[in-house]
Amino acid sequence: MKRSKPQPEDFREALERQDWEKHAAEAWEASGEAEEWSKQILSAWRLKRSGLDSRLMIHLHESPVSNGLFFQPPEEWDVKAQHWLLDRLCARVQALDYKLSFTEKHHEFLDSGLRLTEVYYLKPRVEGAAPWNQRYGNIHLEYRKLSDRGLWLKIMANQYHDRNYSPALAFDEFIPLLFG
C-alpha cells in the first residue's frame, strides 16, 4: 500500500498497556465476553482440524518446526477488546512457565488508515543443564488492525530442533490450554 501524500513517520515502541486499558480489560474479562470469544475460537479450531468450516475465518499452519493458527475477528467483535484478547493469551502462555522475551507496537501510516501491529514473543523458562524443556517452543502472538477493523490474530509455536532441548509438546495440546 503505497503512500500518495505525506504521512507521519512510521514508528515502533514497546507494547505496554496504560492503567485505564488494564482496567477496561479486566471489565471485559469479567463480562464473560472473553470466555465466549475463547469458546468460539476453540470450536472453530476444532472444526478446522476436522476439515470443516466455521463462522470464524480461521487458518492453520503446520510444519515440522512451526505450527500456528490465524483467525480474522468477526466484525461484531469490539475492536478495542481484540487487544485485550491478545493480552489474555499472553497471560495464559506466561502461566505455562514462559517468560516474555519481546514486545512491540508498530504504527504504520497508510493511505487507507493507520495499521497497528502488536506483538508478544515468549520463550520457555529454562534452568539447569541441557537438555532443556522447550514445552511448545517459542510462542509468537500477534494482532493486526487497520484503523477500526481487526484484520487478524496470529498464534505461532516455533520449535527448537537441537540436542540442547527436549522434543516439543504437541501444538494440538497447546491451543486448548489457551482457549479452554
pLDDT at 1: 52
Q: Which of 160, 167, 154, 180 is nearest to 68 (CA)?
A: 154
Amino acid at 60: L
**Tens-digit pLDDT profile for residues 87-138:** 999 999 999 999 999 999 999 999 888 999 999 999 999 988 889 999 999 9
Percent of the chain with pLDDT over 70: 96
Mean pLDDT for the stretch of residues 72-92: 94
Say yes or no to pLDDT of 2 above 60. Answer: no
Enter the pTM of the model: 0.92
Q: What is the dihedral of CA 105, 89, 100, 98, to 10 degrees?
A: -160
**Tens-digit pLDDT profile for residues 10-58:** 989 999 999 999 999 999 999 999 999 999 999 999 999 999 988 899 9
Lookup: cell for 105: 507496537
